[in-house]
Amino acid sequence: MKPTFTSNGYAKKSINPDTWAMLEIAHKEGIETVWDRLAKQQPQCGYCNLGTSCRICAMGPCRVDPFGEGPQKGVCGADADIIVARNLARTIAAGASSHSDHGRDILETFHRVGEGKTDIYKITDPDKLRRLAEEYGLATDGKNDQELTEELAWEMMEDYGMHRARLPLAKRAPLARQDIWDKTGTFPRGIDRENVEALHRTHMGVDNDWVNILLHAVRTSLSDGWGGSMIATELSDILFGVPTPKKSFVNLGVIKAEQVNIILHGHNPMLSEVIVAASQDPNLLALAKEKGAAGINLAGLCCTGNEVLMRKGIPMAGNHLMQELCIMTGAVEVMLVDYQCIMPAVTETARCFHTKVISTFDKAKFPGAEHISFDPARGLEIGRQIVRIAVENFTRRVPERVRIPVEPTPMMAGFSVEAILGALGGTPQPLVDAIVQGSIRGAVGVVGCNNPKFKQDLGHTELTKRLIENDILVLVTGCAAVADGKAGLMVPEAADKAGPGLRAVCKALGIPPVLHMGSCVDNTRILVLAAALANHLGVDISALPLAGAAPEWYSEKAVAIGTYVVASGIYTVLGMAPPIFGSPNVVKLLTEGLEGVFGATFAVEPDPNRAAVLIRRHIEGKRAGLGLTAIAPDDIAMPEAELALV
Ligand code: BF8
Ligand code: SF4
């Protein structure tokens, strides 16, 4: 048994014993962490927090002071509404671009498969390839997988340009939803087009109508959710397999003292899928033995971790705030990074240990890391090269500095839409029946990041617990999924923590009450499931008893996700607001005005117990709207605010 750690005063920072243990080590050894750097940034800029600072042009930088005596306009004349809207639109464009460019990278590899120019990648799910090709209107008869892959790849490349008036995958949404997008001029067109146009509109002196700016920001987010991210998910499934339920483990305990450890960090599964194959190479395993290691162990971090957990059952070392702490175990030979959410600080932490950080994408270099340029044509060769570096680095490890503080917690992952519908017998009807009978009140996507401004994982886990206790099925992705996994909420036995209705359904199906649906680009799986339910019932998504939540978000990608989720008709509660409070008009539009247009709004509530009540009231309201049994909102008491920002 590993020792039991107490919080040692770190309970304000995290709910997790592995985090406490590593923070203690960081403290003793003088290693800086994200929490130290956050403290050094205090006080953070009030104008930036309100969203009323602008540095878009060289007449600035400007700050406007909407609630005080200071300037009310920037040098160009932009007021708080324009500045806040422009900043928010740029944030959304950056998030949407990140997901969509990730999708493009997968698409380029998919295209290589079609051309036959790769040493490892192949079509793993030909049925899904054919389904998608048919959705794109391609004739599939008489074509082999390779021909079809090349043809579909060209079609999808058009999605990134401006050839199309409407993104084909957005047609998966119910017609009523598509109608709303048409009427509001937000139906997404080319993916790149929306993102470039967002930058154009927010240049000085272009779009100065703040509502018009925000409508385009919505369209940009939709080009992510029903475009770039959806392409990333669909093609990853075709190349690497549609996830199916599987058991694995989570927390720093998945790092193995006696083995060579490789941490797979970032978002793009292309290289990590290959590392999984390379780590089983008999020659490399023999070399590991020769170096004194018992084997080669892979563990994930962030969304690359989620991708290989969903498809291969590779264990998960942790979520966003664990990236530096992971290295401090002293047992990581290589941290392999692709892109997004990788703190530049990891190379600095690695310098205190024998760990090598290896970067792999030419668009994401890290000073202090070794760079091995990823090339899909030589994927397996590069994978073997990286595993060999890790194995050879094992002898540089300092055994006295190996500290793995906890035993791993079991968790289940792999709940793709296909897997969920499969478990239900191929149709959403049993889920619909459970919702109609009221044994399941509704479903909520709890998604998003860690942010050191929140006590790590408290928001995710408390919100999830309150929801399942009240018979609400929880779907998770990203770092939220890792949080719930660590808390033991993602094993079938966790059904005992659910209310009686949800518990019975989970027990009958042998599933947890919290279903891991994947990485952050895989939030599109939640959209597809919502669309399937809505289409099955012949209603719009906004009529369903659904909600979204991002309790501890930090990234621009999370803002893009929240926006496309709301614009798809799903009420979404954020743990903190993006920087918009400098414009009461923008706040009112996002938290009230969107209801009349998109049938959903944002809400902001840092306390997870209160957020749960907002969501339960919303779900019961939607149930009433569908004529189902519903609890009156006033019968769901709102607790006093208690748990909030650190
Ligand atoms: O894309 S949840 S911290 S790792 S941004 Fe990043 Fe946020 Fe984690 Fe995955 Ni998503
Ligand atoms: Fe200032 Fe306007 Fe330039 Fe922004 S765009 S920096 S508000 S002058």
Express each pLDDT in 564-592 by its tens digit: 999 999 999 999 999 999 999 999 999 99
Which ligand sits nearest to residue 306's alpha carbon? 1
Q: Supply the residue whose CA is at minimum distance from atom 2 of ligand 2.
A: 76
- Tracing tokens 């009323």 back to the chain, one arrives at 52
- The answer, yes or no, to whether any atom of ligand 1 lies below 6 A from the CB of 558, is yes
- The answer, yes or no, to whether any atom of ligand 2 lies below 6 A from the CB of 57, is yes
Claim: this prediction has a pTM higher than 0.95? yes
**Measured CA distances, 110 to 153, 234, 244 (Å):** 7, 11, 21
Residue type (1 letter), 124: T
Alpha carbon of 78 to ligand 2 centroid (Å): 7
Assess whether the previous peptide bond of 61 is cis (omega < 30° from 0).
yes
- The answer, yes or no, to whether any atom of ligand 2 lies below 6 A from the CB of 277, is no
CA-nearest of 532, 514, 503 to 432 is 532
Q: What average pLDDT score do residues 500-520 get?
A: 97
Laid out side by side, the sheet with 356-359 consists of 370-371, 356-359, 334-337, 260-266, 296-301, 316-318, 246-250, 409-413
Alpha carbon of 74 to ligand 2 centroid (Å): 5
Specify whether the CB–CB gap between 639 and 495 falls below 8 A.
no
Q: Supply the residue whose CA is at minimum distance from atom 7 of ligand 1.
A: 449
Helix/strand/coil for 238: helix
Alpha carbon of 63 to ligand 2 centroid (Å): 9
Tokens of 616: 């339960």
- The answer, yes or no, to whether any atom of ligand 1 lies below 6 A from the CB of 318, is no
- The answer, yes or no, to whether any atom of ligand 1 lies below 6 A from the CB of 34, is no
- The answer, yes or no, to whether any atom of ligand 2 lies below 6 A from the CB of 78, is yes
- The answer, yes or no, to whether any atom of ligand 2 lies below 6 A from the CB of 62, is yes
Q: Please state, for a pLDDT cut of 90, what percent of the chain lies above it.
A: 96
Neighbouring-strand partners of residue 353 = none
* Model confidence pLDDT, tens digit, residues 47-79: 999 999 999 999 999 999 999 999 999 999 999
Task: Say how far apart CA 434 and CA 229 lie, in whole Å.
Answer: 30
CB neighbours of residue 446 within 10 Å: 29
CA-nearest of 533, 535, 575, 568 to 554 is 575
Q: Which atom of ligand 1 is nearest to the CA of 319?
A: 8
Q: Is residue 35 scored above 60 in pLDDT? A: yes
Cα angle 530, 533, 535 (rounded to 5 degrees) comes to 105
- Own/partner long-range contacts of 111-116 (Cβ < 8 Å, ≥24 apart): 111/149, 111/150, 111/153, 111/154, 111/157, 112/376, 112/377, 113/146, 113/149, 113/239, 114/146, 114/147, 114/148, 114/149, 114/150, 114/151, 114/152, 114/153, 115/150, 116/146
| Core vs surface per residue 332-348: b (16+ CB within 10 A) or e | bbbbbbbbbbbbebbbb
Q: Is residue 46 scored above 70 in pLDDT? A: yes
Specify whether the CB–CB gap between 146 and 117 falls below 8 A.
no
The confidence band for 119, taking pLDDT boundaries of 50, 70 and 90, is confident
Tokens of 347: 């190379």
Q: What average pLDDT score do residues 495-507 get?
A: 98
C-alpha of 2 from chain center: 31
The confidence band for 644, taking pLDDT boundaries of 50, 70 and 90, is low
Rounded (to 5) percent helix, strand, coil in the chain: 50, 10, 35
- The answer, yes or no, to whether any atom of ligand 1 lies below 6 A from the CB of 341, is yes
C-alpha of 266 from chain center: 11
What ranges make up the beta strands (E) of 461-521?
472-477, 514-518
The confidence band for 6, taking pLDDT boundaries of 50, 70 and 90, is low
Q: What average pLDDT score do residues 525-549 get?
A: 97
CA-nearest of 644, 588, 451, 572 to 44 is 451
CA-nearest of 237, 299, 617, 227 to 482 is 299
Q: What average pLDDT score do residues 461-469 get?
A: 98
pLDDT at res. 163? 73
pLDDT at res. 2? 55
Alpha carbon of 85 to ligand 2 centroid (Å): 13
Lowest mean pLDDT among 102-116, 258-272, 356-370, 629-643: 629-643
By most ligand atoms within 8 Å of CB, the mutation choice from 320, 339, 343 for ligand 1 is: 320
Q: What average pLDDT score do residues 368-390 get?
A: 96
Helix/strand/coil for 500: helix
The confidence band for 8, taking pLDDT boundaries of 50, 70 and 90, is confident
What residues have CB less than 8 Å from 122, skipping those under 6 apart?
113, 239
Instruction: Kindly report the average pLDDT of the chain as a whole number.
Output: 96
By most ligand atoms within 8 Å of CB, the mutation choice from 55, 59, 87, 199 for ligand 2 is: 59
Residue type (1 letter), 262: I
Q: Supply the residue whose CA is at minimum distance from atom 7 of ligand 2.
A: 74
- The answer, yes or no, to whether any atom of ligand 2 lies below 6 A from the CB of 59, is yes
pLDDT at res. 179? 98
Alpha carbon of 73 to ligand 1 centroid (Å): 35
Q: Supply the residue whose CA is at minimum distance from atom 4 of ligand 1.
A: 302
Helix/strand/coil for 341: coil
pLDDT at res. 165? 84
Q: What average pLDDT score do residues 471-497 get?
A: 98
Tokens of 592: 């009230």
| Core vs surface per residue 518-555: b (16+ CB within 10 A) or e | bbbbbbbbbbbbbbbbbbebebbbbbbbbbbbbbbbbb
pLDDT at res. 646? 55
The confidence band for 3, taking pLDDT boundaries of 50, 70 and 90, is low
Q: Which atom of ligand 1 is nearest to the CA of 341?
A: 6
Which ligand sits nearest to residue 300's alpha carbon? 1
- The answer, yes or no, to whether any atom of ligand 1 lies below 6 A from the CB of 555, is yes
Cα angle 543, 547, 553 (rounded to 5 degrees) comes to 150
Laid out side by side, the sheet with 442-446 consists of 514-518, 472-477, 442-446, 546-550, 572-574, 602-604
Cα angle 643, 645, 646 (rounded to 5 degrees) comes to 100
pLDDT at res. 265? 98
The confidence band for 1, taking pLDDT boundaries of 50, 70 and 90, is very low
Q: Is residue 553 scored above 70 in pLDDT? A: yes
Q: Supply the residue whose CA is at minimum distance from atom 3 of ligand 2.
A: 57
Q: Is residue 101 scored above 60 in pLDDT? A: yes
Residue type (1 letter), 298: L
Alpha carbon of 380 to ligand 1 centroid (Å): 27
